[in-house]
Structure 1
Amino acid sequence: MVSVFCAIGTPLMAAEPIEFGSDESTRYLTELKKLYLTSSDRTALLTHSNSLLDTYALRAGYQVGQTNPQDFLYELSVTAPGELRIREEVRGSSGGVAVRNRSLSVFGLDPYLQYQCPPQGASCIINSPVDGLPLVVILRDPKGAEELAKALSFLIRNLQKG
């Protein structure tokens, strides 16, 4: 695992460098296609990424002691060639819901995503390859963040193929 430090001293991690044409890559995609009963790499990667986002969703119940605990829920979809759509739903403890849709054009992006899991706090952040700002926020689980960053890296690489 590669570690670098940002200005505030929080370690940033990237999924282990993956050679997308390697045997490991082929094995990973084959396992996902079996798991999700599909012959499509893209469908398997999208389904797996959404499953991980659901599994590691940061929910209000994990934010003990926070003044305004919120659920952060995400869903990914492909809207056009090279476009990843990220639907973010934030539910407040008072019952309010805010929905935001963002599109990420993957062409020209470095597909290796970085993530942060600060020791303090209840969350991990997968950073956007565009500007380094949070792409998604999940429950603080470094292994889960690593797996999600890996799946998203493969998905971005797949989308870059057109």
Structure 2
Amino acid sequence: MLLTRKRRMPAPLSWLAGLVLSCSLVGVGHAQSLEPEHEIRRLMLATEEAVSAERWSEAGEYLNRLQVMKGEKPAEYLYYRGRAMLQAKHFNEARSALEGYVSRVGADGKHYQQSLKLITDIEKQSKANARALVEGNVVVKEPVAVIEPAGEEGLASLRKLYLAKTDREALTIHLNALLDANGWRKDKTVVRLDRPADIQYRVTINDSELTVQQVRREIDGTLVRKTSPLPVYGVNPQPRWDCEAVVGACWIYDPRDGSRLFQLAHNPAKVSEIARTLGRLIRNLQQGSAGN
């Protein structure tokens, strides 16, 4: 009977196979550990390709990875983020990103003209959504911050805190204090208490409507003041708001048409309180003299 012996791989060949496997694993490791500047560039190229092919889910994945990476990202990151957010119908975030792109590149930017057109389209759509929401014709699916009704205990505390005679007076003082502390600044690295914010607001009551004054500090230090009325009757006393970390700002939206009413520092907790206080004041004015 002929016996067949099982051949074994010679030791040198086994060692060589292990070396090839080790080298393959090392190669994979190097592919996943590019320096940040090269990884950002790689993901930007992948994002550009995905957006051009309208593969929005894929583009969103790359953009999310870029968002958490340290290191400076090219201005085109904001453009592609705006495109992806617009496709997802997150109009506020899309507008913020596109405006950030325009601010960084100016008129010489590759996507400057297209960004301006998209911003205009977003503005039209936002106003249409706001009108439809007021008329009750449609449910807007964009995330909306819900403002809870004010309780009597909270109003009593505010009157006591500010030594105010009425709820209306207390709410107005509190709103202006919050606005003063959360103005928007171009330089977000250092906040100096002795230097006012670049954009500030003050709200006053004129008869039965609010008056909003915006004070904008220009580069040369001059102040530009703009005052506009805000009638309260027939408007939703639950102002919408949102924040965008990419551009370092939060916004509270005009309850009449969905346009931007306040541009504030990126502090969601404080902006939520500002929106809630504004809503309480609007509701108070809607109640007429009984709200005093």
Taking the TM superposition and a 5 Å limit, the aligned residue runs for 1:1-162 are 7-8=90-91, 10=93, 12-18=143-149, 20=150, 25-62=151-188, 71-81=198-208, 83-162=209-288
SS in 2 for 1:98: strand
Is the Cα–Cα contact under 8 Å of residues 123 and 140 in structure 1 kept in the other structure?
yes
How far the C-alpha of 1:40 sits from its partner, in A, is 0.5
Distance 1:128 1:9 in 2: 13
How far the C-alpha of 1:6 sits from its partner, in A, is 5.1
**Percent identity for Structure 1 against Structure 2:** 31
SS in 2 for 1:74: strand
Using a 3 Å threshold, how does the CA distance of structure 1 residues 12 and 57 change in structure 2: closer, same or farther?
farther
Is the Cα–Cα contact under 8 Å of residues 77 and 86 in structure 1 kept in the other structure?
yes
Is the Cα–Cα contact under 8 Å of residues 240 and 275 in structure 2 kept in the other structure?
yes
Using a 3 Å threshold, how does the CA distance of structure 1 residues 141 and 13 change in structure 2: closer, same or farther?
farther
Is the Cα–Cα contact under 8 Å of residues 78 and 84 in structure 1 kept in the other structure?
yes
In structure 2, the partner of 1:67 is: none
Q: Which amino acid aligns with 1:100?
A: K
How far the C-alpha of 1:98 sits from its partner, in A, is 1.4
Q: Which structure has the higher relative contact order (CA within 8 Å, separation 6+)?
A: 1
Distance 1:28 1:40 in 2: 13
Higher radius of gyration, 1 or 2: 2
In structure 1, the partner of 2:3 is: none
Structure having the larger proportion of residues in strand: 1
Structure having the larger proportion of residues in helix: 2
Q: Deviations over 1:75-114 (max 9, x none)?
A: 1001122x10000010112223211100010001110011
TM-score (norm 1): 0.83
Q: Deviations over 1:98-149 (max 9, x none)?
A: 1110001000111001101012112100000001111111100000010000
Using a 3 Å threshold, how does the CA distance of structure 1 residues 107 and 32 change in structure 2: closer, same or farther?
same
TM-score (norm 2): 0.47
SS in 2 for 1:151: helix
Distance 1:39 1:95 in 2: 38
Using a 3 Å threshold, how does the CA distance of structure 1 residues 129 and 9 change in structure 2: closer, same or farther?
closer
Q: Which amino acid aligns with 1:80?
A: D
Using a 3 Å threshold, how does the CA distance of structure 1 residues 119 and 160 change in structure 2: closer, same or farther?
same
- RMSD, aligned α-carbons: 2.0
**Structure 2: unaligned runs, 5 residues or longer:** 1-87, 94-141, 191-196
Distance 2:152 2:245 in 1: 34
